[in-house]
Structure 1
Amino acid sequence: MKLQKEPLKKSDFLLSQFEINIEAIIEAFQFARDTGVKTLLNPVPASADISEELLNNTDIFIPNKSEAELITGIKIESIETLKKAGKVIQQYGIELVIITLGEKGSYFLYENGKGQIPAQVVRAVDTTAAGDTFIGALSAVLQKDYSNLEEAIQYASRASAMTVQRFGAQPSIPYAKEIL
């Protein structure tokens, strides 16, 4: 399959996971970065062996806690170990790392700051689409310069909280009007 470049040129972000061919992701990420499109990688399904070329072409990296532990070899038990894992990931030139922590929220680390955003307190019934919802919602509202990063993470957290209160994958993902 040939990379469709024209639609990509008009995008702010290009998102991918490991559910498609890695070489295709690398090609798309290289093109995206060359045209000023931010690249966002969610390392699912998790792997301890991620292509360095892919990481070098990734702007935003969003693993969950267990994925971050697998990728970095660091057991995440505190803010300090979160920061350490984030810094290991950033060594590949990644600008922004967001580690999602389920009911404990998410931790972010980038050049201009770091912090933890608490999760919404809800009764979860199905976590199937929580990560996908978080990433989709985040990328829908995040500015390319990350100027609204904390607000975008809070928005994504609200979306994820709504998702885990419903059953199913696609049917559980809320519309923007519900999140607001």
Structure 2
Amino acid sequence: MKITVVGSTNMDMVVKTTHLPAPGETVLGGSFFMNPGGKGANQAVAAARLGGDVTFITKIGNDVFGKQSSQLFDDEGINISCILADREQPSGVALITVDDNGENSIVVASGANAALTPVDVSTCLNRIEKAEIMLLQLEIPMDTVELVADYAAANNIRLVVNPAPANILSEDLLKNIHIITPNATEAEMLTGVKVTDETSAEAAANVLHQKGVTKVIITMGKAGALVFDGTEAKMVAAPKVTAVDTTAAGDVFNGALVVALAEGQDLIKAVEFSCLAAALSVTKLGAQSSIPYRNEIIINRLQLNA
């Protein structure tokens, strides 16, 4: 089953240090490396590595970072026919600091991502094979997000939206979403409900469902994810691991989710698969460098069941 991801591409510049700097503080020491990233790119690569048939729609700069990213997507087996190059804007860049506990602080310069227009995406959607499931995030312009949501609804395509970075979504957009996957902070912004535990997560999920979203998955870090199918809620636990870097955990979760759904798994099984993939990703440094392959999921699932 075909998957289309629409979203951002960045080059991540990462510093690993003892603690995240407070305002005005300079922290010396630490290691530096660059790693391809961007929420859209991370999710597309995750879906491809985990077995999905993926087309990625994104916009890069006509620069060395953009060329590197495009080559990487091709190497991952992603359909790159809708990788667009902007001759005026540079490729997106993210500056990331990661502390000893695996927590991170991120600042993004959007670059070409902010120039991915509804016309760009509409043109691409009209010339690629229609997907059965689509995946979106919010590092591209909101009018582009809304265009994709309208397209998915008009063509009976299941749309998964990861509402990150946190932003307010219109009621018209929410009604076109099949599954929304906020974390606790994003769920609070969307609903006004502070999510601290399973009970408050269920309350937030109910609010989103009442606003028109068919199904809700609220990710809760090492606790796992709260799944609400429109009728009942269930907590899916995450495997216990030692976190090194949580940068791409949410992206891996979403990439894994659309693969599992495309393969016909029910929602709970799909979320279990996604939690395992995300847990494996936090045991490694970096964004795309931390994304597991399908064989790693199989091996770790067998070990957990042993």
Same fold (TM over 0.5): yes
Uncovered stretches (5+) of structure 2, i.e. residues with no partner: 1-119, 299-306
Q: Which has the higher helix share?
A: 1
- The alpha carbon displacement at 1:112 in A equals 4.5
Larger radius of gyration: 2
Corresponding residue for 1:83?
A: 202
**Structure 1 counterpart of 2:276, which letter?**
R
4+ runs of 1 displaced by more than 3 Å? 6-9
Query: 6-15 or 156-165: which moved more?
Result: 6-15
Counterpart selection for 2:182 from 63, 70, 82 = 63
* Whole-Å separation in 1 of the counterparts to 2:152 and 2:270: 22
Q: 1:84 to 1:2 in 2, by over 3 A?
A: closer
Q: 1:123 to 1:93 in 2, by over 3 A?
A: same
SS in 2 for 1:40: strand
Within a 5 Å distance, the mapping from 1:1-180 to structure 2 comes to 1-3=120-122, 4-6=124-126, 10-47=130-167, 49-143=168-262, 148-180=266-298
Q: 1:12 to 1:123 in 2, by over 3 A?
A: same
What's the TM-score once normalised by structure 1's chain length? 0.91
Identity among equivalent positions (%) equals: 36
Query: Contact 1:14–1:29 at 8 Å: present in 2 too?
Result: no
- The alpha carbon displacement at 1:51 in A equals 2.0
* Whole-Å separation in 1 of the counterparts to 2:129 and 2:226: 30
Q: Which has the higher strand share?
A: 2
Deviations 1:60-80 (A, max 9, x none): 100001111222111223322
**Structure 2 counterpart of 1:11, which letter?**
A
Query: 9-18 or 38-47: which moved more?
Result: 9-18
Query: 21-30 or 96-105: which moved more?
Result: 21-30
What's the TM-score once normalised by structure 2's chain length? 0.55
- The alpha carbon displacement at 1:147 in A equals 5.6
